[in-house]
Structure 1
């Protein structure tokens, strides 16, 4: 069984999709990164709006098309993501769905070069394979109201469990914060960010457990 080097630091890639740099979602990304770094892990943030990421899939980026090739910006993004152990998608729920920016990132980057056959047979070799997926979302509506509309479970199935299976990922979990509107009470913000920190530390502990099991010396035959 292969072992990771002793100096190995688990890496968390936080993908943030919100147009306002001072948004609650931005605070969530910061809180998550602060918590994992305190655990000795590495964290990178890909703020899609700040980066000016182009979410539009090009014809030549579709596998199976004539002249298929990835665009330079996609290749560069994949180079940044390689080696990440956890992918955290942080975004608001708009009209029951992720922002177009986040969907475009899945189309162009996370799902780069993946065919429908690979999705069905779970054979896609991407930066996500064998890794953890975490969805941290927010909404203006309450979580209870969204549950009444079956929205949360729909999103969980579509943008969580589906990606888990389609890309052969190790695990998926989510965390949602409702009623995140303008003028939030600071105590409410602090309480929610504390939950983010708790979840981040729990994920770090799970990674440490996985690593310990992976490095365990097998018993003698």
Structure 2
């Protein structure tokens, strides 16, 4: 499609939330970031455990306070991720939900200054409004067991869709990897990471060319794989 107009270079904020440096979650983050950079777009990686992010919301930070004040760590995080086009969450499912570290990041950083009325009205926030949400989650349980518990549907309702609606985001996608356990075969691991890279290329194409152009010409994704 010779008349396709690129909309920008693209900037991805990647939030890695796993305490183990050798975890499969770290491999997912590495694969995603490498694919984005290969496509010529920018990545801001925030490894929440590595930076020692404090997930505990402070009383002074509650948005309902008339004169809410925010810690320097929150202000620094907002500066790091401001202006990103897509927000990528990478985390394990622990006891049915994301780790407390990630939930605390949502409360302290994503939610900084956001009033309850704005959440209920699905108003676009300055930080996340109109942006894309992409999630990669892992679980040691099998897909069959997770489906029996309604894990996918439940997490989609209470986390993914909630974030999109609460902050006025544009869209959300979620890739789930089940039965991620010690001894995971190299064949499966490599396939999963290829899936991550393919998703990264697709997201880059969405940002660069727009959703409608990508639907009309799916081959545009291959232009992002250099």
Tell whether the structures are fold-level matches, with TM greater than 0.5. yes
Contact 2:136 2:176 in 1 (8 A): yes
Matched residue, 1:196: 196
Matched residue, 2:134: 134
The offset of 1:136, in angstroms, is 0.4
Distance 2:96 2:142 in 1: 13
Query: Cα 1:173–1:211, aligned 2, differ >3 Å: closer, same or farther?
Result: closer
Any idea what SS the aligned residue of 1:50 has?
coil
Query: Cα 1:60–1:177, aligned 2, differ >3 Å: closer, same or farther?
Result: same
The offset of 1:68, in angstroms, is 1.1
Distance 1:163 1:76 in 2: 21
Distance 2:21 2:46 in 1: 12
Distance 1:91 1:22 in 2: 14
Matched residue, 1:149: 149
Greater relative contact order: 1 or 2 (C-alpha under 8 angstroms, separation 6 or more)?
2
Distance 1:93 1:212 in 2: 33
Contact 1:133 1:173 in 2 (8 A): yes
Matched residue, 2:218: none
**Count of paired positions:** 208
Consecutive unaligned residues of structure 1, counting only runs of 5 or more, are 1-5, 214-221
Any idea what SS the aligned residue of 2:136 has?
strand
**Counterparts in 2 of 1:58-207, with a 5 A limit?**
58-207=58-207
Distance 1:77 1:179 in 2: 32
The offset of 1:125, in angstroms, is 2.0
Q: TM-score, normalised by structure 1?
A: 0.90
Distance 1:160 1:125 in 2: 16
Any idea what SS the aligned residue of 1:43 has?
strand
Consecutive unaligned residues of structure 2, counting only runs of 5 or more, are 1-5, 214-226
Contact 2:124 2:169 in 1 (8 A): no
Aligned-residue Cα RMSD (Å) equals: 1.6
Contact 1:110 1:126 in 2 (8 A): no
Contact 1:114 1:124 in 2 (8 A): no
Q: Deviations over 1:85-108 (max 9, x none)?
A: 000000000000000000000000
Contact 2:7 2:209 in 1 (8 A): no
Query: Cα 1:70–1:36, aligned 2, differ >3 Å: closer, same or farther?
Result: same
Distance 2:134 2:88 in 1: 5
Any idea what SS the aligned residue of 2:80 has?
helix
Distance 1:58 1:28 in 2: 31
Distance 1:162 1:67 in 2: 26
Matched residue, 2:15: 15
Any idea what SS the aligned residue of 1:22 has?
coil
